[in-house]
Structure formats: C-alpha cells, structure tokens
Amino acid sequence: MRISTSTVYTTGLNNMLTQESAYLDASNVVSSGKRVVNPSDDSSAASQAVAVQQASALNDQYADTRSTVSSSLATEETTLDSISDAIVSAKTLLIQAGDGTLSDEDRASIATSLQGIYDTLVSLSNTTDSSGNYIFSGYQTQSQAFTEDADGNVVYQGDDNVVSQQVSATTSMATGDNGATVFMSVGSSAGFLATAASDNTGTVTFDGPDITDTSDANYGTGFTLTFAVDDDGVATYSIDGGDAVAYESGDTLEINGLSLTLEGAPADGDSISVSAAADAEPNLFTTLANVIAALNTPTSDDDTAAAALANTLSTSSRELDNALDNVLTVRTSVGTRMNELDVLDTVGDSMALTYATRLSDLTDADYTESVSTYTSLQVALQAAQQTFASVQDMSLFDYI
C-alpha cells in the first residue's frame, strides 16, 4: 500500500498536536492545582462542585447575618444593663424617700435625683445601633421609640413587632426587643398592685396586697374598695359596689385570695383598686413621673398629702420591682439568643470546613499523579516531535 508524503506529514502533525494538547492540559493542572477547571474536564464533579459552592456561599451569608444580629444584641444587652442600674438606683431613692423624718426639701431633692434617672431612661429608650436605627422601635426603626407629648408624658411611638433575620437554614432570630416589651410590660411572675385613687381626700394607707389563698375561686380577680362615711363619721367600705361593711383602721381584708391591710381614716368616696400587675397598664416612665410628682408635693401639716405619698411610694416600689424583673427577663432572653448564635457560629464553621474539603476532593488535583502525568506527556510530546522531524528529513534521493 502506498502512503503519500502529505499523509505522512498530516498524520505526524496530528499526533504531535494531540500530544501537545494533552501536555498543555496537564501543565494547567499542575500550575493551577485544579483537576476540574472546565465542566468538560469532569462534568459530574463540576456539577457537584457548583452545588457545594452554592451551599458554601449561603453558609457564609448566614455567618454575616449572625455577625450583624450579634452586634445588635450586644448593643441591646449593654443598654438593658444600664436600664437595670437606673431602676436599682430609683428603688434605692424610693427607700430613702420612705423615711418619715425627711422634710419637704429632702423629698424634693430626692425627686430631683429621680428626675435625672427618668431623663436617663428616656435617653436609653431611644438608643440607636451602629446603623442609626432605634433598637426599641419595633419595625419603626427610623423613628424614636419614645417621645414626650404636649402634657410632658412619655409616649411609645414604635410598634409591637420585632425585627427578625434568618441566621441559619432552620433558624430565624429576633435582632432585638420592642419598647413596649422592655418599658411597658411585666414578667409572668409579677404579682398584684394596689392603687389609691388620685382624688382621695382621706388618710387611708394600705400595705399589700399579699397572696394568701391561691385556691380561692376568685383568686387573681381584681377588685375596687369604695369607702363611704355617713354624717356621724361612721366609715364603711364596699367591694365592687356590693354590700357595705364596717371599716376600722388596722383592718386586714381577705378578698379573692389576697390580703390588704388598711390604716387611717377614709373620706366619703375614696377608693383603692387592686389588680394583677399585668392589668394595671405597667409603664416605667409613668411610675417614675407619679413618684416624682408625689415627692414634690409638700406634706408638712397635710395628712391627706402624706397618705397619698405613702400610697404612691408603696405602689411605685412594687412597680419598680416588677420593671426590674421584666428588664432582667428580657436581658436573659438576649443572652440566650447570643449563646445560640455562638453555637450556630460553631456549626457554621464546621460546615464551612466540610464544604471546603468536599470542594477540594471534587476539583483539586493530586500533585503526585498530576506531576507524573505531566512528565510522561512531556516525554511523549518530545518523542512525537522527534519522530515528526525524522520523517520530515526522509527522502528517496538519499538512496539513489
């Protein structure tokens, strides 16, 4: 069979080009360290690598989100710590204010200190994060959580929602708490409050209420005591408009599983209400405003004002106790979330390592094998080149 010169040249050239292409591919593998650079290198591995890269990117995104949430919760925790300190300071001042030897001027001085705490709490309630968002405004992050109305009352401007973010594939977490939860709520363990009507003109003061019988059929149900005084000065009281009962100073009333001890002389129409703390419209700012006003009211030679102050201090003290417990409960919740983020970070780091290992298994080259292949292909290419050169030099004229 005859083989033309052009066929010999073409065959040799094709073989050399094939060897050169394989050699260049091996060179790329060695230089890049990647076995799969193009999908055509290994379609199955390339497909799996894309899925792993997507999962790894999502894991990184969750890690970034957790970092943001952790920063927000750290800001809230610091703020809650300051709020707790402020409430404790206020409680200490209320204890001092209960000293019966103080003068009106002494109580006014305490009121000034409480006003400073009040202003501090208003400032803390409008804390912002690193992005300038108000952390206690719920979804209304661009608006102050609390502002003063025309009457000087602090009013909540946020909503009852909380901003949440997805921090893992299966976990969504609140990045903070709204102002209503922190400043206008009580914990589940909060007890009961007694409150004297603001227009009372008698001198009745109360101690309690205390829980005495949780098995009472009406336990936990609020009630109102209304006093009546006839023309002869005989005082009675009724419960929620019921039958009149004779009243004497020092009486301890047992109502709905609660006890309330009363001292002093009521005026006709005076009233005292008892309710669960959660039903008494808790508001830390209102509590402080009420006690500041009471302390600024002179009580010298005014038994009615003195009784009003005593009742306000009693009610406010319990309200501050409830407020502190509530803030500590919220702070515990924040700490729990931060601990959960730490756990999720640990899991996320482990997953990131797993993804990196899997991606390496799918696409990285085995250097020993790659270098061996590269060397053998280099030898094969050199052989092909030498063979082509030898064939190219052949001529019949050399044999004539």
Do residue 263 and residue 288 come from a single domain?
no
The number of domains in the chain is 2
Q: What is the pLDDT of residue 354?
A: 87
Do residue 198 and residue 134 come from a single domain?
no
The residues pairing with 69 across neighbouring beta strands, listed in sequence order, are: none
Do residue 291 and residue 175 come from a single domain?
yes
Neighbours of 257 (CB within 10 A): 19
The residues pairing with 30 across neighbouring beta strands, listed in sequence order, are: none
Closest alpha carbon to 227 in 279, 262, 275, 277:
262
Percent of the chain with pLDDT over 70: 78
pTM above 0.85, yes or no: no
Segments of the chain scoring below 70 in pLDDT: 1-42, 45-46, 359-400
> Any residues with CB less than 8 A from the CB of 81 and at least 6 apart, and which?
331
Do residue 162 and residue 212 come from a single domain?
no
Do residue 178 and residue 199 come from a single domain?
no
How far are the Cα atoms of 223, 234, 277, 292 from residue 273, in angstroms, in the given order? 6, 21, 11, 21
Do residue 152 and residue 183 come from a single domain?
yes
Q: Which of 231, 247, 281 is the last residue of a domain?
A: 281
* Residue 387 is assigned to a structural domain of this protein: no
Q: What is the CATH number of the domain that holds 344?
A: 1.20.1330.10
Q: What is the pLDDT of residue 128?
A: 93
* Residue 180 is assigned to a structural domain of this protein: yes
First to last CA, the chain: 22
Distance in angstroms (rounded) separating the CA atoms of residues 377 and 21: 10
Q: Which of 263, 281, 299 is the last residue of a domain?
A: 281
Closest alpha carbon to 97 in 375, 288, 366, 239:
288
How far are the Cα atoms of 221, 254, 258, 260 from residue 218, in angstroms, in the given order? 6, 12, 10, 16
The answer to whether 106 and 309 are in contact (CB under 8 A) is no
The answer to whether 235 and 226 are in contact (CB under 8 A) is no
Alpha helices (H) along the chain: 5-32, 43-97, 104-125, 179-183, 284-295, 303-363, 367-393
Do residue 173 and residue 288 come from a single domain?
yes
What is the span of the domain harbouring residue 360?
Answer: 34-190+282-364
DSSP secondary structure of 284-338? HHHHHHHHHHHHTS--TT-HHHHHHHHHHHHHHHHHHHHHHHHHHHHHHHHHHHH
**CA trace torsion 345, 349, 351, 354 (10° rounding):** -170
Q: What is the pLDDT of residue 43?
A: 73
* Residue 377 is assigned to a structural domain of this protein: no
Do residue 159 and residue 295 come from a single domain?
yes
Do residue 177 and residue 214 come from a single domain?
no
Do residue 52 and residue 138 come from a single domain?
yes
* Residue 200 is assigned to a structural domain of this protein: yes
Q: Tokens representing 189?
A: 């363990």
Q: 18-59 pLDDT, tens per residue?
A: 655 555 665 566 555 565 566 655 677 667 777 878 888 999
Do residue 286 and residue 157 come from a single domain?
yes
Q: Which of 248, 281, 314 is the last residue of a domain?
A: 281
DSSP 148: E
Biggest CA-to-CA distance, the chain = 158
The answer to whether 367 and 33 are in contact (CB under 8 A) is yes
* Residue 16 is assigned to a structural domain of this protein: no
* Residue 102 is assigned to a structural domain of this protein: yes
Do residue 45 and residue 132 come from a single domain?
yes
184 phi/psi in degrees, rounded to 5: -135, 35
Q: What is the pLDDT of residue 189?
A: 84
The answer to whether 266 and 235 are in contact (CB under 8 A) is yes
CA dihedral (380, 381, 386, 390) positive or negative: positive
DSSP 266: P
* Residue 355 is assigned to a structural domain of this protein: yes
